[in-house]
Amino acid sequence: MSLDTVPLAAAAHRTRTGDLWLFRGRTTADRLIQTLTNSPVNHVGVAVVLDDLPPLLWHAEMGRALTDVWTGRRQRGVQLHDLEAAVRHWTGPYGQRAWFRQISPETGDAQEDAVLETIARLNGVSFPSAGRLTARWARGRWAARGRHRSDRHADTGSGSGGDGEAGARGRRGIGLPWRRTVDTGPVLRMEAAYCAEVVGMTLEAMGVLLPAGDASWYDPGRFWSGDALPLAPGWDYGREVAVTVPADADREP
């Protein structure tokens, strides 16, 4: 899947807001997700890189082993983690392989604001149960039947190129920058979301992806270079770059 390989420290240094981080495991649950979605990966997250903070990973998972940077506590579901700690955990205890795909061109203030708004809205949303996850996948497959490739911008990898009060508490708690000046009004909060839905909705809010119509259309395989993403004009993703994690970095931080 990748001809390039970099160590985790170098990948974290290179990553920028909007980059995709992909993971592939070997457990029964991992292989089930890969089979259902017909893809080589079973988990996806998106990088969030802000001034004066280490790179972060925005994703959703069932575990609560790491501290959520937004709230300062451990929680299940949609979470914002220190990126290197998250990758070490996914490649260590979770036994996964990791890759990242770089966005082009680099994102700006508007995209960063959109990411922060999405974090404020979705952070802490629960992870769906296995039954609900399967139902969401089936609904997404049905929705995909109505999407024609001619209506989407193919992701070729060519490299061209509200919870307002709770969100405010989170931003103040970790010193995140905030430049929002326009009140967009109340936004419905999802009851549950899994990793691909979180990434898809975040990239749609950033204007990187065209609206899919239904968040359940997204699965981890959509973000692999072998598939096609509904990229908005002017945006692209490079091919996968494999990430290696030194053995001594597999320990829990």
Is residue 152 very low, low, confident or very high in pLDDT (cuts 50, 70, 90)?
very low
Determine the Cα–Cα distance for residues 109 and 105; give it in Å rounded to an integer. Answer: 13
| pLDDT at residue number 32 | 77
Contacts of 12 (CB under 8 A, 6+ apart): 54, 55, 83, 84, 87
Bridge partners (DSSP) listed for residue 103 = 237
| pLDDT at residue number 55 | 98
Alpha carbon distances (Å) from 1 to 16, 101, 177: 21, 11, 36
Bridge partners (DSSP) listed for residue 104 = 236
Residue pair 143/200 in contact (Cβ under 8 Å)? The answer is: no
Does residue 18 come out as left (phi exceeding 0), alpha (psi in the -120 to 50 range) or beta?
left
Residue pair 117/183 in contact (Cβ under 8 Å)? The answer is: no
| pLDDT at residue number 17 | 99
For helices 109-122 and 164-174, the axis angle rounded to 10 degrees is 110
| pLDDT at residue number 64 | 95
Is residue 129 very low, low, confident or very high in pLDDT (cuts 50, 70, 90)?
low
- pLDDT digits over 186-240, tens only? 444 567 898 999 999 999 999 999 998 888 899 898 999 989 899 999 999 999 9
Determine the Cα–Cα distance for residues 240 and 4; give it in Å rounded to an integer. Answer: 8
Residues above pLDDT 90, as percent of the chain: 56
- pLDDT digits over 51-104, tens only? 989 999 999 999 999 999 999 999 999 999 999 999 999 999 999 999 999 999
State which amino acid sits at residue 214: D
Winning range, highest mean pLDDT, from 42-46, 158-162, 164-168:
42-46
| pLDDT at residue number 189 | 55
Contacts of 248 (CB under 8 A, 6+ apart): none
Is residue 28 very low, low, confident or very high in pLDDT (cuts 50, 70, 90)?
confident
Instruction: Indicate the pTM of the whole model.
Output: 0.79
Determine the Cα–Cα distance for residues 252 and 233; give it in Å rounded to an integer. Answer: 41
Is residue 253 very low, low, confident or very high in pLDDT (cuts 50, 70, 90)?
very low
Name the residue with higher pLDDT: 48 or 167.
Answer: 48
